[in-house]
Structure 1
């Protein structure tokens, strides 16, 4: 009964969001597609065959790495768009530029030896409403950005290089959100393939409110805090295939909004397929699911990937009371994991991420979590196999599968507040202490578990005096 009421509440709030938020309604994609299950690969989207090929050199670009080519590049993109769409070609050269806007039915084609290099001047990046840590705020657009576009792409063997002077968090000197590297917002039909990126202290690729995304065979390099590789923010129907990602922060992060704003808008990240990728991280996790989960995250498939280094965990599922919504149907299979500082897997639903000033109150604000599946996992000397003790007893994890896990670890599995668990064929060695430690866990394969103390719970979140309204 509680789950049904919660679902009704989600649907009700989602309907209110369309009426109350001009921003949300302006960013809703014009296309519709069928939602798939977590085990079904997302659509491999490719742009339509180009009707036109325009060379940026014909519009006055110098490609000398010193002269700002912003206006010439934008003219090429704009003309391609008004003539019905096609490809904008970047021959070999260094194209120094401020922010450029992609339009519908336009693909940037980067030849080998072509580099788009970002300007160091904040004034070269327009100011708009952008997402930052789950909230819509005033901030700079990305080096390459798009609003409400359809069938856009960036392909080829070239490079996109952000200016390291722009990275970092908003601060007293630069109070607006800093530019991401590539950021489509409210777009439908995105294809990124073949190129490499470099940036520092800020997100590299940040689709927000987008659908039908293919990210394939990219080489992504970023360093420093906030140096995420790919952040999927309230997006659906995504394929990430064959990418090599080495980052300062999360290699891939899945988000959907924070606090009452994200919960009211209820834009879910769903139908995500990550496959054939290699990950290395030097500050946090390789794949982070959360902690901004107020719009919900579901139907995620991660398979056939290698995790070679992580400062914390290879996979970290995270949220906290005050987020609300759900994380469900997360499937991970056929993974190789090594080089982690803390472990293979952690799920922390009690205290990850900053609390929103306007959190979702009461039991409604405790995220619903269910159906986490991990199978055919090979680990090499991970400090902890699974840390799954930070789960709220009011909404326990319903459905956890750990099966066919092999390799070496220093410590085993810790679980709390889990029902319908299934553990099978856990064949690891090298650990000290018990293989399995539990509190309030039911299911199969739990024989020999050692009892642990319950997790410490955060203080309940009290409802505000006045109901929340988008503002």
Structure 2
């Protein structure tokens, strides 16, 4: 097929910003700085390719998968550039992005996910912290470098694929899924997912998600064992966690030991209809560290606006979490919950004993305005063998039904907290040391879960990839 004028046009590649700074581990109690963005490198050739030149009909009913994939492959083998989707609605199965490629969806255009599961190849995917067979995402990349999605158009999943797991046990396709991608930029688009996760980066480095409108009936962005990630100026309206940070589950995730680290979330708006606005965990077996959340608005949530969670059997750590300048309202349960005793499903092959109790330290929440929530802080599900080391709650104004319940915390700092509550104690504690605890009423912490023992067939489970 010859290439006409509309197929290849010399142009500058799209630019965006990616976080590239590497942060050192923060000592307990120290301020935590976000990763800093840097420009996405320009594609090598700067070509632009129009998939209509390869036969795309963009009528919303004819499958354009082949034409779209040919355009993306052509772009990659020419050294990189931009595939421009314009002029209509493109029905497609799964599409793979190569290195140095930007997929730009122009205003008024949309990619529509195929309703047929056969159009999403089965491969090894990360699902709830384990590597298992499942259907790959609608738009995906693996092992690529310098990948971008941009434009003011839409990516919309098919409602004909309900639920998260098929009858045969295979996970349904995510909307956008990136595995082992270095240099990733997703900007300005509107996404609408069905019941599966919307955007799922795994093992990615230097990733930016900016100016997105993320809608769907499940999680918005699940950051899974990634490094240097920035989520900026995004608007979420989801039916599960708006943003979830993960790093694997059980012995598999713990031995792979790839943490999620250096994550910056800033200037976002959250609405959640089933779980939390920002969830950290419960799949934390690779560790999560150095996370900042700044200048965000939490407008609606079914449970808690911020929910940080794990359980014995995960191992690893959650550390150096800083959230500042937040506005919180419309919370079904409250502003903040910490639960490190029983959140999430136990893995078939857990990390046993004392090593399996997560290490948690250095959490800071500053300059928070909370309006009319049932509970301000619920932080009692913390293991006494590994108490939370360093907890700062400072400059908080709040109207709440109930105040703060804390247990098993060392080095707490409660300072300038102006809370008007409807009932009960403003502060109740058990086994908490630090400053600003005067006048706290005693409480009885929850019972501890049974000790975790090793799974009997861990090696077999690792080799087979079978789910629990």
Is TM > 0.5 for Structure 1 vs Structure 2?
yes
Map 1:157-168; keep pairs closer than 5 Å. 157-168=152-163
Q: Does 1:201 align with 2:220?
A: no
Shift of 1:60: 1.1
Distance in 2 (alpha carbons) for counterparts of 1:314 and 1:381: 13
Distance in 2 (alpha carbons) for counterparts of 1:214 and 1:258: 25
Cα distance, 1:163–1:180 mapped onto 2, change above 3 Å: same
1:45–1:212 Cα contact (<8 Å) kept: no
Aligned residue in 1 for 2:363: 372
Cα distance, 1:350–1:109 mapped onto 2, change above 3 Å: same
The count of corresponding residues between Structure 1 and Structure 2 is: 436
Shift of 1:331: 0.3
Q: Does 1:292 align with 2:283?
A: yes
Aligned residue in 2 for 1:13: none
Aligned residue in 1 for 2:22: 34
2:270–2:277 Cα contact (<8 Å) kept: yes
Structure 1: tracts of 5 or more residues without a match: 1-31
Shift of 1:432: 1.3
Q: Does 1:240 align with 2:219?
A: no
Find the partner of 1:60 among 55, 59, 79.
55
Distance in 1 (alpha carbons) for counterparts of 2:457 and 2:177: 35
Distance in 2 (alpha carbons) for counterparts of 1:153 and 1:375: 34
Q: Does 1:230 align with 2:221?
A: yes
2:335–2:375 Cα contact (<8 Å) kept: yes
Aligned residue in 2 for 1:177: 171
2:268–2:296 Cα contact (<8 Å) kept: yes
Map 1:334-413; keep pairs closer than 5 Å. 334-413=325-404
Shift of 1:76: 0.4
Distance in 1 (alpha carbons) for counterparts of 2:128 and 2:404: 30
Aligned residue in 1 for 2:412: 421
SS of the residue 1:206 aligns to: strand
1:45–1:213 Cα contact (<8 Å) kept: no
SS of the residue 1:165 aligns to: coil
SS of the residue 2:286 aligns to: coil
Q: Does 1:430 align with 2:421?
A: yes
Cα distance, 1:61–1:47 mapped onto 2, change above 3 Å: farther
Aligned residue in 2 for 1:44: 37
Cα distance, 1:52–1:36 mapped onto 2, change above 3 Å: farther
Aligned residue in 1 for 2:148: 153
Greater helix content: 1
Find the partner of 2:132 among 122, 137, 154.
137
Aligned residue in 2 for 1:103: 98
Distance in 1 (alpha carbons) for counterparts of 2:382 and 2:153: 45
TM-score, normalised relative to structure 1: 0.90
Distance in 1 (alpha carbons) for counterparts of 2:430 and 2:399: 24
TM-score, normalised relative to structure 2: 0.91
